[in-house]
Amino acid sequence: MKDNIIMASDMNDYFNKKKSEGGGYEKKSTGGSGGGPNIPQMPKMDFNFGGGKAGIVYFLAAVVLILVLAKPFTIIEEGQRGILSTNGKYSDQALLPGLHFIIPVIQKVYKVDTKVRIVNYASSIETGTSDALGVNVRPAITVLDKRGLPVSIELTVQYRLDAQFAAQTISNWGFAWEDKIIHPVVRDIVRNVVGKYDAEALPQMRNAIATEIDTQVRANIESLENTPADLQSIQLRAIILPAKVKEQIENVQIAKQQVQKA
């Protein structure tokens, strides 16, 4: 009898030990005092990214990455103006030099140069000139004199985009405003002025012709709405006459010299 009691006690200890081990899982009660089956628990996920400081670092890195990719800002340098476009519509006022924030995708900034630019109307391409330096070389202006003889005029024109009305100029004329304002006006004025004289008289009338070209070009451009360009100077560099006209002028000068000597 005593042996039976000892065996029963050992069996109870064995089952109690098994229950306490639980197969490596926690027991979940289904109600009542009798307990219930052992249900495995899902492992807990740690979303702390290794701690509070690491989470802040990851957040700041994500913000920097978004700023780099979206680029919600632009920098306008000295000698430039920014033309702000919002959904394809240009703003009335140009952006001044400095840092400006914009709305990505919706807004875009176009930078335009307001520094002094030079255009040389020359018979031959000059070395050392580049549009990147603000120097533009174009063919000399061919003009017919009063009798229909071809004459070539070389000019240098210095100008700049009027910074005050830069936005209106781009809105009205586009980014190729120079090809629509400066070059056509200069060519038309030169042809009208020089075409009134005979080729032989052009060298003697050089100063008067240069003054008349300067006056008419300025008046024409300044009469445009919002004065898109600020003219710095217009210089008459050379009047290239036909070979026959040059020969006639030289013969006349030689004759005059002979008469003076006689």
Q: What stretch of H or E contains 16?
A: helix 2-21
DSSP 163-220: GGGHHHHHHHH-TTHHHHTHHHHHHHHHHHHHTTS-GGGTTTTHHHHHHHHHHHHHHH
Specify the CATH class of 117-248 in words: alpha beta
Per-residue pLDDT tens digits for 208-237: 999 999 999 999 999 998 889 999 999 999
DSSP 115-129: S-EEEEEESSPPTT-
The pLDDT mean for the chain works out to 80
* Domain layout of the chain by residue ranges: 52-113, 117-248
191 contacts 153 by C-beta, under 8 angstroms: no
The pLDDT-based confidence of 9 (bands split at 50, 70, 90) is low
E strands, the chain, in order: 73-76, 80-86, 89-90, 98-101, 107-113, 117-122, 135-139, 141-144, 150-161, 229-240
- Position 26 scores a pLDDT of 45
Q: Output 84 or 247, whichever has higher pLDDT.
A: 84
